[in-house]
Structure 1
């Protein structure tokens, strides 16, 4: 068995203004770092409206379609932009998540990493925000439940910013346990430990600004791993943001690449016990290019090791 890498050239066609942190170079640097690795390389399909409608209503999908300009860029809010290629890029991101679930469920691959952009975990049910258009991780989890008949799926988000969109999309879904670690306080302002979901299905791990890998490991050992073990998920979806790295310009945590490696190893250990090693990881943040490349490679190397 092997690890699948799912991406598509269309993800380079989501163009943001000069100086925007969520830029094409992110994907270039990450894919360059992954190029030497032994991976099953798959093309991301474009998700249909029906696919995306598992987590977003059609009126929202239509709004994003209408917003994309024929040329240039248009701001949906102060952070989130669309260009002529953004809708197709976002469809590829959603389609990659679905393709990854199919690959893992069919045993075409043991696990999978989706290297796509724009990211997704800030997109709420009817609100694009934080560079995000569609909730790819939440979509993957819902698809695994509704299409493949799984009964329990875990979503783990280690991006430095809280996955408010994923939390919004999964708040009422008792079949999904959502675990999110994030710097707190920090934009978007959500992610307090008191936010626990409609069915006690949300676990937030707020981390103080300036904290590093040691504090992260303590938080996961004490607050996340026991909940994941007790939930006994049949698949794990990872929202893999690499902006908790010490060098990232958008936040103030102090993780190193080896911290992402350790966390990936531990999540894969739980997946080996409960999920038949089924792990689907989707790219979220990470805005220092060198840190993104090094941390992303460490993450994927651990997926490869777990997939052997």
Structure 2
């Protein structure tokens, strides 16, 4: 078996204003780092509108379409912008996750990584925010549950910012377990340990600023991995943000590339135990270009080892 890499040039056409941290160069640097790797390269399709409507209402999609500018930028909130190519990029990101779920559950690949942008884990049911338009990880979970008929899917998120959108979209979904580690305090302000979902299906593990790999590993080994093993998901979806890195400009955790590699290997080991190694990972944050490229490559290399 092999690891699939799903991406599309449309994701480079989501342009943000000069100086914005979520910029085209993020994906360019990551793809350059992944270029030497022996991956099954798959063109990310456009998501179907019905896919998006699994998690977002029709009115939300209509409002986004009405907001996309003919030129320049449209500002949705303080830090979320649309350019003429943004919505196509977002449809590619959502389509990548849907296709990756199909590939993994169909046994065509062992696992998959979606290198797309804009990211997704802050997009709530009817609100685009935090650079995000569509809730890609939650969509992947819903697609696996509703289209493929799975009974249990886990979404794990190690981005430095809490995945408030994924939590919102899966809060009432008893078939999904959402696990997140994230810096607290930090934007968006959600992700307290007492936020546990409508069906005790959310596990939040806040991490204090200036903490590093040892605190992270203690939380994931002590809390997350036992919950994953007990839940026995049939698929694990990873929201792979690399902004917990020491060099990232938007936060204050102190992870290194080897910490992302360690965590990925641990998740792969649990997946091997409970769901035949079936993992779909999708890119979220990471705003220092070199740290993103190195950490993303370390993440994908661990996926490749697990898929062999």
**TM-score, L = length of structure 1:** 1.00
Deviation at 1:106, TM superposition (A): 1.0
The residue that corresponds to 2:152 in the other structure is 152
Distance 1:147 1:196 in 2: 26
Secondary structure in 2 aligned to 1:188? coil
- Say how many residue pairs are matched: 308
The residue that corresponds to 1:255 in the other structure is 255
User: Residues 97-246 of structure 1 correspond to what in structure 2 (within 5 A)?
Assistant: 97-246=97-246
Q: Unpaired runs of 5+ in structure 2?
A: none
Secondary structure in 2 aligned to 1:177? strand
Distance 2:73 2:307 in 1: 40
Distance 1:275 1:32 in 2: 31
The residue that corresponds to 1:5 in the other structure is 5
Aligned-residue RMSD, C-alpha: 0.4
User: Residues 23-42 of structure 1 correspond to what in structure 2 (within 5 A)?
Assistant: 23-42=23-42
Deviation at 1:216, TM superposition (A): 0.1
After superposition, what is the alpha-carbon deviation per residue over 1:224-273, rounded to whole angstroms, capped at 9, x for unaligned? 11100100000000000000000000000000000000000000000001
Matched, 1:301 2:301: yes
Distance 2:207 2:236 in 1: 22
Distance 1:216 1:190 in 2: 18
Whether the 8 Å contact between 1:210 and 1:253 is mirrored in structure 2 is: yes
Secondary structure in 1 aligned to 2:50? helix
Distance 1:276 1:137 in 2: 20
Whether the 8 Å contact between 1:240 and 1:285 is mirrored in structure 2 is: yes
**TM-score, L = length of structure 2:** 1.00
Distance 2:75 2:111 in 1: 35
Deviation at 1:97, TM superposition (A): 0.3
Q: Unpaired runs of 5+ in structure 1?
A: none
Deviation at 1:108, TM superposition (A): 1.1
Matched, 1:76 2:98: no
Deviation at 1:80, TM superposition (A): 0.3
Deviation at 1:48, TM superposition (A): 1.7
| 4+ residue segments displaced more than 3 Å | none
Distance 1:20 1:258 in 2: 27
Whether the 8 Å contact between 1:120 and 1:136 is mirrored in structure 2 is: yes
Deviation at 1:142, TM superposition (A): 0.5
Whether the 8 Å contact between 1:49 and 1:58 is mirrored in structure 2 is: no
The residue that corresponds to 1:281 in the other structure is 281
Secondary structure in 2 aligned to 1:150? coil
Distance 1:98 1:287 in 2: 25
Distance 1:111 1:300 in 2: 10
Distance 2:275 2:240 in 1: 18
After superposition, what is the alpha-carbon deviation per residue over 1:107-153, rounded to whole angstroms, capped at 9, x for unaligned? 11100000000000000000000000000000000000101111000
Secondary structure in 1 aligned to 2:291? helix
Deviation at 1:222, TM superposition (A): 1.1
The residue that corresponds to 2:45 in the other structure is 45
Distance 1:57 1:49 in 2: 11
Secondary structure in 1 aligned to 2:11? helix
Whether the 8 Å contact between 1:239 and 1:283 is mirrored in structure 2 is: yes
